Structure 1
Amino acid sequence: MPDMSRRAFLRGAVLSKEHQFLGPMPPWLGEVAAETCRACPGFCLEACGEGVIRRHPEGHALAGAPYLSFREGGCTFCGDCAGACPQGVPRGRPRIGTAVLHRERCLAWNRVICMGCMGRCPEGAIVLDERRRPFLLEERCTGCGMCISPCPTAAIAISFNHNGRFT
């Protein structure tokens, strides 16, 4: 049964179904096959200084494969996960995906003052309109997830690229 505590509901933290991705692959590791990652002892998890890399849980269709969990923070693109990967993944500045703002859940779009997401975006991709409501400059967004954890209503999600398509 899903975790439906009041806090979990407000944060949008209802448990995922077995076939759904819990989050995007860590940057650079999208080039590595999920099966290879599942067999690895988890060097990228240990290397992540932000602590945002997790594994899909047992019983999940992707059990053992790493993903980024933005509940506590975001990805800084430091490259430590790629450096720790024994598969020799390519370097460069990847784009994880694009943030998506769900206006119906956003406090600022519902006449409550809130700018938590804007202050956390390292790329300046979240700006305010004349009514002090946030909107996204997609060309600046890297999908780092820094805007997700400060949002009290889980109004932001990352649309991430999996196998060449954003989901």
Structure 2
Amino acid sequence: MTQGINQSRRNLFSRRKTNVIRPPWSKSEQAFTDNCTRCDKCITACDTQIIKRGEGGFPEIDFSNDECTFCKKCVEVCPEPVFDSSTELPWTIIATIKDSCLTAKGVWCQSCKDACEARAISFTMAVGQVPKPKIDSNACTGCGACVSPCPTDAIALIKIE
């Protein structure tokens, strides 16, 4: 019983959730949470309002209403050393399609493709079936534009290492 209580206490003070997406150009999770003062400047600066106050008050990305335009305003306004804008890629996340996609149920839908400016989502035609989505991982920027238009929440952004 004592071991379970100790584990619960440890989890209570843990700052690291593995599925959280931090703002673009963020340093590693540990460097980010160690240096972020939770001042909300990045949240206020975000034009598309996708940066939200997450668990522990740390900023995290929520693509449910909009996408990232990679404007770098969050990076520019932050007074702390939590960003590294010298890297070429803003982050290492890409879109994936879940089983709840309407095309898996035989319904014609291409809302994700229509929203993808990078044209990273294409649809493969098949005889007697609706076209199935395919994501080009080399073209996907992880902007999240495909997430909110999806009527079944079938698009998720995942970190690639």
Superposed pair shares fold, TM > 0.5: yes
- Identity in percent: 32
Question: What count of residue pairs does the alignment treat as equivalent?
Answer: 138
Identify if the C-alpha distance between structure 1 residues 141 and 121 changes in structure 2 by more than 3 Å, giving closer, same or farther: same
Partner of residue 98 from structure 1, selected from 91, 94, 99: 94
Matches within 5 A, 1:100-139: 100-102=96-98, 104-131=99-126, 132-139=131-138
Deviations 1:26-73 (A, max 9, x none): 001235521322x2311100100000001114xxxxx11111001001
Comparing 81-90 and 140-149, the one that deviates more:
81-90
In the alignment, is the contact (CA less than 8 A) between 2:27 and 2:84 conserved in 1?
no
Q: Which runs of 5+ in 1 are unaligned?
A: 1-17, 58-62
- What code does the residue aligned with 1:148 have? V
Which of 39, 47, 50 pairs up with 2:48? 50
Instruction: Write the deviation string for residues 101-138 of structure 1: whole angstroms up to 9, x where unpaired.
Output: 11x21112321111111111121100011142211011
Structure showing the higher helix proportion among its residues: 2
Is contact 1:22–1:56 with CA below 8 Å preserved after alignment? no
| Alignment of 1:74 onto 2:72 | no
Correspondence for 2:35: 36
Q: TM-score under structure 2 normalisation?
A: 0.77
Indicate the residue corresponding to 2:154 in structure 1: 155
- The structure whose Rg is larger is 2
| Unaligned runs of at least 5 residues, structure 2 | 1-14
Q: RMSD value over aligned CA atoms?
A: 2.0
Q: 1:22 touches 1:69 (CA, 8 Å); kept in 2?
A: no
